[in-house]
Amino acid sequence: MQTEILGDIESVNKQGNILIIKTKEATARIWVYSDSIIRVNVSKAFNDDDKSFAVIQKPGDFKFEESADEIVIKTPVLQLHINKSPLRFNFYTANGKALSEDDPRFGINWQGDRVINYRKLYKDEKFIGLGEKTGNLNKRGSSFVNWNTDAAMHDTKTDPLYKTFPFFIGLHSGLTYGLFFDNTHKSYFDFGATTDDQMSWFGADGGDMNYYFFGAQSVAQIIEDYTWLTGRMEMPPLWSLGYQQCRWSYMSADEVLSIAERFRKEKIPADVIYCDIDYMDEFKIFTWNKETFPDPKAMIDKLKAIGFRLITIVDPGIKIEPGYKEYDEGVENNYFATYPNGEKYVGEVWAGRCHFPDFFREDVREWWGAAFTALTDPGVEGFWNDMNEPAAWGQNIPSLVKFGDKYMPEVRNAYGMEMARATYEGTRRVIGNKRPFVLTRAAYAGTQRYSAVWTGDNSAYDSHMLMGQRMVSSLGITGMSLVGVDNGGFSENPTPELMVRWNSLGVYTPMFRNHAMQGTVMREPWQWGKKNMAIIKKDIEQRYRLLPYIYSGFYQSHKTGLPLSRTLAINYTNDENGYDVKYHNQFLFGDSILVAPVESTKLTAEVYLPAGEWYRLSTREKFTGEQSIIVDAPLTDLPVFIKAGAIIPMQNVIQSTNETGNGVLEINIWHGNEPTSFVYYEDDGLSYDYEQGEYFKREITFDPNKRTIEFSKVEGAFVSRFNKIKLMGYGFEEASVSKHKLYNNSNDAIKIDL
C-alpha cells in the first residue's frame, strides 16, 4: 500500500470565503467560522455538497497574509500558520503561544483511503473528550476507535461502544484547544498511546481530513463554541427529569399499572414508566401486543391519572412480514437499505429477519415520523430509540450495504443520530406544541439537537457505576447534557448496597433511570427491603426537591451548551488533582454541587475539594478547598458538597412533576465570602411556548458584604408556579437569615436585607 505524505504547496487562492491550497497529493481548504473556530479540510476528492451531520453554522469571511514560507490567518483569538514546504497546519494563540502543531515530519498522510493527521505531542499534554468511552478522564496514553457498536456485555476496557463523538480538548502549558474531526467513517484517536511521546494522531478509514480547531482559552468556552457549531439541546420536558422506572420488560398493561400504582402507594416520587420490546406484537415496531396490552389508551389514561408518563421503545429493524403495515410501505416505496444490486439488506434482530430504514433520506424520515401515531394516539410521550448502531446479530453488517448513495462504512456512525432525528422531527409533528422526549443509544456529534442518550448495557458492578459517571461527564464535554446510565446495572444482579448507592448517584445524574435486563432480579425501590427502600425513597425525594435547580441547569445547557454534569476539568482546568484517577469520578452537578461517587463496598471516601470553601450537604460541616479529605460515606449519605456562596433553588417533595407542589420556592444560600449569583429559569416544562417569551427568568444575587439577596426583575411573560419565596441560610454566623419567612414571588425586583 502506498503511503503519501502531504508535500509542498503548488498554488494558493481564495474563492469567496474559502482559502484553497493545492499540493501534488491533495487540496486543502480553510474556512473561518468565528474568531475562535477555524476549519481545515484536506481532501483528494472534495465533495462540493460539503454536508455535515453535525455542523449547523456557516463560515464567515477572513483575510490572510502570505510570505515566502507561510500563509498566516489571524483572528483576535487564534492564529493559523500554514507552512508551505511541506504543507503543515500549526495553531497559536493570538500572542503566539503554540496550541497545536502538525508533526513536522508526517503531518497529514494517506495509506490507501485511510487518512491520518499526526500532531506534535506536548510534554504535559492531557486530553479529555470523545464522549462515551471507557478508561480515564485524562486520555493521555490511550487510543480509541469510533465505530458504533452494540456493545452488549461490555466491560471497563471495551472499545468501541455505541456512540461517536470525534471531539476532544487538549490541555498543555496552561493552554486549551479543541479539535472536532468531522468524519463519519470508522475513526481512530491516539493520544500518545503508541508513539514514543512525540506524536498524537487521529484519522479515519476514508473521507477527508476535515477538522474544526477551537482556540478559546477555557474549557467551558470551548464547549460553548463546539455547541454553537453543532447545536444545543432544547429545553427538555420537565417530567423527563423526574425519576424514571424501566425494565426489560414489564410484560403486560396490568404489570405496568401495578408498578406505577405501587410507587404512589409507597409515596415514592416518579414520573416515567417504560415499555420495553415486549409491548409489541412479535417485536413489530409501531404495533401493540393485543393480548397483553389490549387497550393501550386505557392503560395510558390510567397512568396519566396518577401522574405517570409512558415511554416506549422502538428499534430500527422492520420485520419481514407481508401484511405488516410498515413492512409493506417500506417495500413499496423502497425505504430500506439495499445491496448495490437493489436487493434489500436482511439482518436479524429481536423481530427475526428485518429490513432497515434508510434514515439518511428525508422521505424515509418523514414516513418513520408519521408512523408514531400508533404510539402517540393512545398517549405515549417519550420515544426510546435502541439498536440503532445499527445492531444486527453477528454485529457485522456487510460493507456492501447501501444507505441512499452511501455505503455502510461511510455513514454507519451517523445512522443512530439520523434515526433519533427522524423520531424527534416526526413526533414533534404529531404531538402538537409539546416537547417530545427522545432517548437514543447510538449517536454522532450533534445528537444533542434531537435526543437524550444513555450509555447502553452496563453491568451491576461498582466499577461500572464509576465508569458510567465518567462517561456521563465526558458526554457533557461533547455537548450531550441530558445523559443517563442504567442505574443498578443492566446485566447481572446488584447487591442491595450497590442498588442503594447507584440510586444515590442517580439523584445527581442528568437523566435518572433505573433499568434492568430480562432475567435479572426486579429493581424497583421496594425490592430491597424496608431499610433500603427508605434510603432510596429519601434520595428520590431529594431529586424532586432539587428540580428547580436542575431545570435552571438545563437552561444553561440549552443556552450555552454547558452540561449539567461537569467534570472538574471544566471549572478547575489547571488543578491536576481533577485528572488524578483517585478523584476523576468526581463532578460538579450544576454550578455548585460537588459529588464524589463511592463504591458500595466502601463506607469512607477520600474526596478532593477544589479551590474555594465547601460544606458537606448532610452535616453542613465546612471545609477549605485544595485539599483531600477522608469522609464518612455510609449508604445513607453519598458525599455531596456545596460550594460556599451557592444559591440553590429547591421545592417541596412532590410525587410527580404533574403536581404543582406547595407553591414555595426555597432559596438555599450557603454562606461564602464573595458575592455570587444564580440564573433562575422556569417555564411550563411541557410546550414550546418558551420560544415565544413564555418563560420566567431572573438573576438571584447574594452579597455577603452588603448582607443582601436580590432578585432581579423577571424577564419573560410566564407566571412562576411558586407564588412564595422562602430563604434558607447555611453557614451564617447568626441565625438571622430570615429563615422560614415567606416573601411574595412577584415579577418585580426584590431586595431582602439579611
DSSP string, 162-226: SEE--EEEEEETTEEEEEEE---SSEEEESSSSSSSSEEEEEESSS-EEEEEE--SSHHHHHHHH
CA 173 to chain centre: 28
Do 253 and 59 form a contact (C-beta atoms < 8 A)? no
Residue 293 CA to residue 305 CA, distance in Å, equals 18
CB of 408 to ligand GLC, least distance (A): 21
3-state SS track over 544-605 = HHCHHHHHHHHHHHHHHCCCCEEEHHHHCCCCHHHHCCCCCCCEEECCCEEECCCCCCCCEE
Count of residues touching ligand GLC (by CB under 6 A): 10
485 versus 595: smaller Cβ distance to ligand GLC? 485
CA 421 to chain centre: 15
Q: Is residue 277 at the binding interface for ligand GLC, with CB under 6 A as the rule? A: yes
Which helix (H) or strand (E) segment holds residue 550: the answer is helix 547-560
249 versus 542: smaller Cβ distance to ligand GLC? 249
Beta bridge partners of 434: 687
190 versus 276: smaller Cβ distance to ligand GLC? 276
Residue 53 CA to residue 442 CA, distance in Å, equals 14
CB of 134 to ligand GLC, least distance (A): 17
Place of cell 420560544: 691
Per CB under 6 A, contacts with ligand GLC among 458-517 are 515
378 versus 416: smaller Cβ distance to ligand GLC? 416
Alpha carbons within 13 A on the beta-carbon side of 365: 21
Do 227 and 214 form a contact (C-beta atoms < 8 A)? no
Residue 527 CA to residue 550 CA, distance in Å, equals 28
117 versus 388: smaller Cβ distance to ligand GLC? 388
The burial of 736, by beta-carbon neighbours within 10 Å (0-12 exposed, 13-18 middle, 19 or more buried), is given as exposed
Sign of CA dihedral 263, 268, 274, 276: negative
Residue 604 CA to residue 587 CA, distance in Å, equals 18
DSSP string, 328-390: HHHHHTT-B-B-TTSPBP-EEETTEEEE-B-TTSHHHHHHHHHHTHHHHTTT--EEEE-STTT
Q: Which of 151, 313, 595, 700 binds ligand GLC (CB under 6 A)?
A: 313
222 versus 313: smaller Cβ distance to ligand GLC? 313
219 versus 314: smaller Cβ distance to ligand GLC? 314
Alpha carbons within 13 A on the beta-carbon side of 713: 1
CB of 161 to ligand GLC, least distance (A): 11
277 versus 536: smaller Cβ distance to ligand GLC? 277
Query: Distance of CA 79 to CAs 22, 35, 38, 58, 89, Å?
Result: 21, 10, 9, 20, 10
Do 235 and 564 form a contact (C-beta atoms < 8 A)? no
Query: Distance of CA 16 to CAs 29, 387, 649, Å?
Result: 12, 43, 50
Start-end of H helices in 33-178: none
Phi, psi at residue 303, to the nearest 5°? -60, -45
Do 451 and 428 form a contact (C-beta atoms < 8 A)? no
Helix (H/G/I), strand (E/B), else coil: 82: strand
86 versus 456: smaller Cβ distance to ligand GLC? 456
CB of 420 to ligand GLC, least distance (A): 14
Catalytic residue positions? 386, 389, 457
Q: Which of 53, 91, 243, 248 binds ligand GLC (CB under 6 A)?
A: 248
The maximal CA–CA distance of the chain, rounded, in angstroms, is 80
Residue 598 CA to residue 88 CA, distance in Å, equals 46
- The residue number with the shortest CB distance to ligand GLC is 248
CB of 489 to ligand GLC, least distance (A): 12
Q: Which of 102, 276, 389, 683 binds ligand GLC (CB under 6 A)?
A: 276
183 versus 459: smaller Cβ distance to ligand GLC? 459
CA 390 to chain centre: 19
Alpha carbons within 13 A on the beta-carbon side of 603: 4
CB of 384 to ligand GLC, least distance (A): 8
Helix 219-230 vs helix 462-477: crossing angle, to nearest 10: 70
Query: Distance of CA 131 to CAs 136, 167, 263, 722, Å?
Result: 12, 8, 34, 37
Do 592 and 516 form a contact (C-beta atoms < 8 A)? no
150 versus 683: smaller Cβ distance to ligand GLC? 150
Cα separation of the two ends of the chain: 75
Q: Is residue 539 at the binding interface for ligand GLC, with CB under 6 A as the rule? A: no
Q: Which three cell numbers stand for residue 598?
A: 463511592
139 versus 441: smaller Cβ distance to ligand GLC? 441
Residue 224 CA to residue 129 CA, distance in Å, equals 14
Q: Is residue 317 at the binding interface for ligand GLC, with CB under 6 A as the rule? A: no
Per CB under 6 A, contacts with ligand GLC among 123-162 are 152
Beta-strand relationship, 175-181 and 9-15: unpaired
Per CB under 6 A, contacts with ligand GLC among 629-668 are none
Q: Which of 125, 132, 224, 386 binds ligand GLC (CB under 6 A)?
A: 386
Q: Is residue 389 at the binding interface for ligand GLC, with CB under 6 A as the rule? A: no
CB of 313 to ligand GLC, least distance (A): 6
Q: Is residue 704 at the binding interface for ligand GLC, with CB under 6 A as the rule? A: no
162 versus 201: smaller Cβ distance to ligand GLC? 162
CB of 441 to ligand GLC, least distance (A): 6
Q: Which of 103, 190, 234, 457 binds ligand GLC (CB under 6 A)?
A: 457
DSSP conformational letter for 720: P
Q: Which of 178, 207, 236, 456 binds ligand GLC (CB under 6 A)?
A: 456
Site residues for ligand GLC per CB under 6 A = 152, 248, 276-277, 313, 386, 441, 456-457, 515
